[in-house]
């Protein structure tokens, strides 16, 4: 059995650069949002270059609108391709969502019905992205709050078909899976088990907020503003015990704490990955032949 290092990373935030420059940090990789670095000059690309020279990098897109009705934004895709050429990240990911319509962009990642027209559109867009970028895309499972009456398949079945038809991978957001399962009154472990786990190339862990809907039932909000909750840690441990451990990222986009707090969560993820048994660090896979 070949054993390689477990990888646990954190999202890179500008306020943490000072701490990083003071000395080595116990982190295996960093992830950034692509749209924050799509500029030709200035401090952000310079800071990212400094980080990239010292740690592996993951780039996470939030603006492609993979599920949108409109054609992909060619200019946005070109800028993304230039960014990936410049920094050569180990992983690239995007969301199963839409965020633009009629030339307007929304500050949200909006959900989709799981039906055949949506499946065909999402697969076509992923094919275009992978062909343009010449690399495998990892597609992130969303957090959802309502079910569409138009849906003819569940999330797991939809994502299995997307992976089968396009050759893309899955970015498994364990918090999103937990939030969605609870909001739909389903078992989180069964929800995760329904996903194409053989295609997982990266895992995200984040916090969520607890609320109640108008009927008084539990409603979880994916807010990325708090530490990973115990129930999500447990779901993560159960998940990596049944699949090979994969690079795992701690996400925090709101109420961002000092770097040391995130590194403690990364170490907890690292320990759970080690405990999962066989260790594998899957290399990025090239996009399937489109000829």
CATH number of residue 98's parent domain:
3.20.20.150
In a domain, 1, yes or no: no
In a domain, 120, yes or no: yes
What is the tally of structural domains in the chain?
1
Cβ contacts of 273 within 8 Å, gap of 6 or more = 6, 8, 240, 245, 248, 279
pLDDT at position 5 is 62
Measured CA distances, 59 to 98, 125, 161 (Å): 18, 18, 24
56-103 pLDDT, tens per residue? 999 999 889 999 888 999 999 999 999 999 999 999 999 998 564 455
Written as six digits, the tokens of 21 are 């420059």
What is the reported pTM? 0.89
Task: Select from 203, 115, 128 the least CA-distant residue to 161.
Answer: 115
pLDDT band per the 50, 70, 90 thresholds, residue 170:
very high
In a domain, 217, yes or no: yes
| Domain that residue 65 falls in | 8-275
The answer, yes or no, to whether residue 104 has pLDDT greater than 80, is no
147-169 pLDDT, tens per residue? 777 889 999 999 999 999 999 99
Of 188-192, 214-218, 279-283, which one has max mean pLDDT?
A: 188-192
Cβ contacts of 121 within 8 Å, gap of 6 or more = 67, 69
């Amino acid at each position: 059995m070949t054993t390689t290092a477990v990888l646990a990373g954190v999202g890179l935030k500008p306020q943490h650069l000072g701490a990083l420059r003071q000395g080595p940090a116990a982190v295996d990789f960093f992830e950034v949002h692509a749209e924050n670095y799509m500029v030709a000059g200035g401090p952000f690309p310079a800071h990212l270059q400094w980080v990239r020279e010292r740690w592996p990098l993951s780039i996470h897109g939030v603006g492609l609108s993979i599920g949108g009705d409109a054609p992909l934004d060619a200019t946005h895709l070109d800028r993304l391709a230039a960014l990936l050429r410049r920094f050569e990240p180990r992983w690239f990911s995007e969301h199963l969502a839409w965020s633009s319509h009629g030339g307007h962009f929304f500050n949200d990642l909006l959900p989709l019905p799981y039906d055949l027209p949506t499946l065909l559109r999402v697969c076509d867009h992923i094919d275009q992205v992978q062909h343009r970028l010449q690399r495998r895309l990892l597609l992130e499972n969303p957090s959802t709050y309502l079910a569409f009456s138009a849906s003819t398949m569940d999330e797991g079945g939809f994502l299995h078909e997307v992976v089968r038809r396009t050759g893309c991978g899955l970015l498994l957001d364990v918090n999103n899976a937990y939030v969605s399962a609870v909001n739909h009154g389903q078992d989180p472990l069964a929800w995760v088990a329904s996903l194409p786990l053989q295609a997982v190339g990266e895992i995200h862990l984040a916090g969520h907020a607890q609320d109640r809907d108008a009927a008084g039932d539990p409603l979880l909000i994916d807010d990325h503003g708090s530490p990973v909750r115990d129930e999500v840690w447990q779901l993560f441990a159960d998940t990596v015990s049944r699949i090979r451990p994969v690079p795992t990222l701690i996400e925090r986009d709101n109420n961002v704490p000092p770097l040391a707090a995130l590194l403690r969560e990364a170490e907890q993820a690292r320990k759970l990955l080690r405990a999962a048994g066989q260790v594998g660090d899957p290399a990025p896979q090239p996009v399937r032949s489109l000829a």
